């Protein structure tokens, strides 16, 4: 499996703030998907730069899974969902809804997340919250779904 990880943060991309969520997400994904190859990138909260990174990971690098962290809230600079929607071929709303619903177990503010999930070519793209705690919990919530979705997107649709 090839996994792409994109951290979306003005401060982290400028070197002002240390990216904590990204490396933690990668560590957890390494445990979930032993032997996976990783690509990572940090970009500022700019729609065009986020969309470009998502396209690169899905189209050129052919990542099976692309996760983003950051930019899913409701502040003016939170534009990850808009960038993601602009590159998705099909949304998979149930994944994002499941993350938000289960996120309520951690914080009542989970409903403010506007993260999306969907498909571009053969890649599953999932927006995760920017906080390490929220991002890691979200990954745990969908861990069991990812292998099945990746199989389907790769054309492996036979049922056992």
List pLDDT tens digits, range 83-120: 999 999 999 999 999 999 999 999 999 999 999 999 99
Q: What SS3 class is residue 38? A: strand
CA pair distance 141, 152, nearest whole angstrom: 19
What 8-state DSSP symbol labels residue 60?
Answer: I
Side-chain half-sphere exposure of 94, counting CA atoms within 13 A? 4
Class of domain 2-153: alpha beta
CA pair distance 159, 38, nearest whole angstrom: 28
Q: Among residues 74, 43, 73, which one has the least CA distance to residue 57?
A: 43
In this predicted structure, the answer to whether residue 158 has a pLDDT above a threshold of 90 is: no
What percentage of the chain carries pLDDT values higher than 90?
91
List pLDDT tens digits, range 11-30: 999 999 889 889 999 999 99
pTM exceeds 0.75, yes or no: yes
Sole residue written with tokens 């890649």: 123
């Amino acid at each position: 499996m090839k996994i792409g990880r994109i951290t979306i943060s003005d401060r982290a991309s400028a070197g002002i703030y240390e990216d904590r969520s990204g490396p933690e997400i990668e560590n957890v994904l390494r445990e979930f998907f032993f032997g996976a190859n990783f690509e990572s990138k940090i970009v500022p909260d700019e729609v065009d730069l986020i969309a470009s990174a998502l396209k690169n990971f899905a189209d050129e690098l052919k990542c099976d899974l692309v996760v983003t962290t950051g930019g899913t809230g409701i502040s003016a600079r939170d534009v990850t969902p808009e960038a993601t929607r602009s590159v998705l071929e099909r949304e998979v709303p149930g994944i994002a809804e499941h993350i938000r619903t289960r996120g309520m177990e951690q914080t009542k503010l989970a409903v403010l997340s506007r993260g999306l999930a969907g498909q571009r070519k053969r890649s599953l793209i999932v927006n995760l919250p920017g906080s390490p705690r929220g991002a890691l919990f979200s990954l745990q919530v969908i861990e069991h779904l990812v292998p099945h979705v990746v199989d389907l997107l790769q054309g492996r649709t036979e049922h056992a």
